[in-house]
Chains A and B, each alone.
Chain A
Amino acid sequence: MNTCAQTLVSPPALPAVASDSPARRLPGDLAIWFFILAELLAFGAFFIAYAFARANNVELFNEQQLALDRNAGALNTILLLTSSYFVVRAVQAAEAGQGRRAATWIAGGFACGAGFIVVKLFEYTAKFAAGVSLSSSTFHMFYLVLTFFHFMHVILGLVILAALWNGARKGRYSPGNMNGIETGAAYWHMVDLVWLILFPLVYVMR
């Protein structure tokens, strides 16, 4: 794109792009964004199926929803949001040239994500002890399928965060090499994003 005229006019010491008008850029790998779109469509289909199944069984859904642990659901929302925040700080650290410092932020994000898993396992244990199963009711079927589908995404997200942590420790991410950390971070935020609908839909709406 560089023409002779540009080369002559632009002093080499100055950046070629004005800092107040940066080009629009999709962070991370393009492929992860198509993957995220597919995931959003899948979760969206589940959410809408839940909402319309509820419309046909309002009394059952309202009654059985009361037995859900809203405190655990809210705590898990806070854990995922905090985890996402730590991952944003990791990306910002890498962008600022503090690639190794990013590892500490990612470790914080991983710890919150692991906290989500622990809270969820306590919740599932209590539900299974109370006789909840896939076949115990339409509500329980949706509750288990939706939350477990999300749970599996949290586990995959934690594997990705572990890989990012390892890469950050080795100083792999820098202002010139943001692709890996941006790609992993985008996936992790998607896991958070879908929970932001799942929580009010399944635990609160009545």
Chain B
Amino acid sequence: MQTQGSSARALPHSDHGTPLRATVIWVVLIAATIVTWSVGESGATGPAIVGLLFSIAFGKGALIILDYMALRRAPLMWPMLALGWMTLVCALIGIAYWKGLAA
């Protein structure tokens, strides 16, 4: 159950950041997407490229989780769970890619 004290609501403090911060993050997310798309267009392959792709994906995901989902100021369990999910999925994709190289 969420309880929100009425006194806290009147504060200038924001749980959702500022419009400027949200806009800067959007620019970073779009730029990162263009990098990922360019890698695809170039046809580049290999462990370093896949490492780059999923590092970018992890960075974008972290921005969504911490800023857009506003988990940066949530009880620590929640950002840790979401970032832990990202880490686990990206790591297992990396392991599977490695396995495919060895096959």
Tell me the A residues contacting B by CB distance below 8 Å: 15-17, 19-20, 22-30, 33, 37, 40-41, 44, 47-48, 51-52, 54-56, 58, 70-71, 73-74, 77-78, 81-82, 84-85, 87-89, 91-92, 95, 175-176, 178-179, 182, 185-186, 189-190, 192-193, 196-197, 199-201, 203-206
- What are 22 pairs between A and B in contact, CB < 8 Å? A15-B10, A22-B8, A22-B13, A23-B8, A25-B4, A27-B70, A27-B71, A37-B81, A51-B92, A55-B97, A74-B33, A74-B36, A81-B26, A84-B68, A85-B22, A92-B16, A95-B15, A175-B10, A200-B36, A203-B40, A204-B39, A206-B43
Nearest Cβ on chain A to B14's Cβ, whole angstroms: 6
Interface of B is mostly: helix
Inter-subunit contact B40/A189 (CB<8 Å): no
Inter-subunit contact A51/B93 (CB<8 Å): yes
Measured in the bound complex, the distance between the Cα atoms of B19 and A87 in whole Å is 11
B residues 61-92 touching A (CB-CB < 8 Å) = 61, 64-65, 67-71, 73-76, 78, 81-82, 85-86, 88-90, 92
Inter-subunit contact A54/B96 (CB<8 Å): yes
Tell me the B residues contacting A by CB distance below 8 Å: 1-2, 4-19, 22-23, 25-26, 29-30, 33-34, 36-37, 39-41, 43, 45, 50, 53-54, 56-57, 60-61, 64-65, 67-71, 73-76, 78, 81-82, 85-86, 88-90, 92-93, 96-97, 99-101, 103
State which of B50, B53, B82 has its C-beta within 8 Å of the C-beta of A40: B82
Nearest Cβ on chain A to B31's Cβ, whole angstroms: 11
* A19: chain B residues within 8 A (beta carbon): 11-13
* A25: chain B residues within 8 A (beta carbon): 2, 4, 15, 73-75
Measured in the bound complex, the distance between the Cα atoms of B5 and A57 in whole Å is 56
Inter-subunit contact A200/B57 (CB<8 Å): yes
Query: With A19-B12, A55-B96, A204-B53 given, is the CB distance from A29 to B2 under 8 Å?
Result: yes
Q: Assuming A16-B8, A25-B15, what are 11 further A-B pairs, CB within 8 angstroms?
A: A16-B5, A33-B78, A54-B100, A55-B97, A70-B41, A74-B36, A84-B64, A85-B26, A88-B67, A92-B18, A201-B93
* B18: chain A residues within 8 A (beta carbon): 92
* B67: chain A residues within 8 A (beta carbon): 88
Inter-subunit contact B9/A89 (CB<8 Å): no
Inter-subunit contact A26/B75 (CB<8 Å): yes
Inter-subunit contact B11/A17 (CB<8 Å): yes
* A196: chain B residues within 8 A (beta carbon): 57, 60-61, 64
> From B34, which residue of chain A is reached at the shortest CB distance?
A74
Measured in the bound complex, the distance between the Cα atoms of B5 and A79 in whole Å is 36
Inter-subunit contact A89/B19 (CB<8 Å): yes
Closest A-B pairs by Cβ, 9 of them: A51-B96, A55-B100, A74-B37, A204-B40, A85-B26, A55-B99, A16-B7, A200-B53, A58-B100
> From A68, which residue of chain B is reached at the shortest CB distance?
B40
